[in-house]
Amino acid sequence: MKRGLSLHEAEKAFRGFGCSHYLMGREDLELLTVYKNLAISSEQETEWTKASFRELAATLDQASTPAADLWWKHASATTHAESIGQIEVLRELYRVSSAILHKVPDGDCIMCAENILARGFVELKRGVVFLACSLGDPALATGFLHLARAFAGKYTGADHQRLEQAMVRAETIHSMIVT
């Protein structure tokens, strides 16, 4: 059995596993057990997730961030924003997403579109578009949809079916949020 964790070690572990209990448990179930025994509040975990989000947003803003890393950093930032569930975080995600639109390699743009549009059954209403609506900012939700379409429109990869699925998903989500 692993020894106990300090609060600092717990934060490092939590953030190191993408602020995800699932990922921590998948990689190190014993660590997750020790971590859970600390009974860290969800408020504390939200603060740690916000700190990770801010670091990712700052990285996306940096000109020195390799273009090939932008899509996966965007994916992590999007996941964190969804987890945090606060409008100011969604607005910051929108800002940095807009800022990287012309920096992401054209072949990776589809993944940024998919980050915004979320994966899984659209009927579950998951992702930043639906979250923006539920937090009372339909204009931000529409902005995210336009941004997803812009990313998809830049895609130059050979997977035309993937592109078509993203565009159909964007239209489906649009019809769900305007009614």
pLDDT at 116 over 70: yes
Whole-angstrom distance, CA of residue 99 vs CA of residue 88: 17
Q: Extract the tokens encoding 45.
A: 């975990």
pLDDT at 109 over 60: yes
**DSSP alpha helix (H) spans, the chain:** 7-16, 21-27, 29-37, 42-61, 70-84, 87-100, 109-117, 128-134, 138-154, 160-177
Which DSSP string do the residues of 19-58 spell out, in sequence order? T-HHHHHHH-HHHHHHHHHT---HHHHHHHHHHHHHHHHH
Tell me what the pLDDT averaged over the chain comes to: 95
Q: Which residue has the higher pLDDT, 1 or 12?
A: 12
178 pLDDT band, cuts 50/70/90, is confident
Task: Look up tokens 């999007």; give the residue.
Answer: 78
Lowest mean pLDDT among 24-28, 45-49, 79-83, 119-123: 119-123
- % of the chain exceeding 90 in pLDDT: 94
Q: Determine the average pLDDT of the residues in 152-165.
A: 94
Q: What is the pLDDT of residue 103?
A: 97
Among residues 81, 7, 10, 8, which one has the least CA distance to residue 49? 81
Q: Determine the average pLDDT of the residues in 8-30.
A: 96
Q: Determine the average pLDDT of the residues in 44-60.
A: 98
Q: Is the dihedral of CA 89, 93, 94, 98 positive or negative?
A: positive
22 pLDDT band, cuts 50/70/90, is very high
pLDDT at 1 over 50: no
Q: What is the pLDDT of residue 175?
A: 96
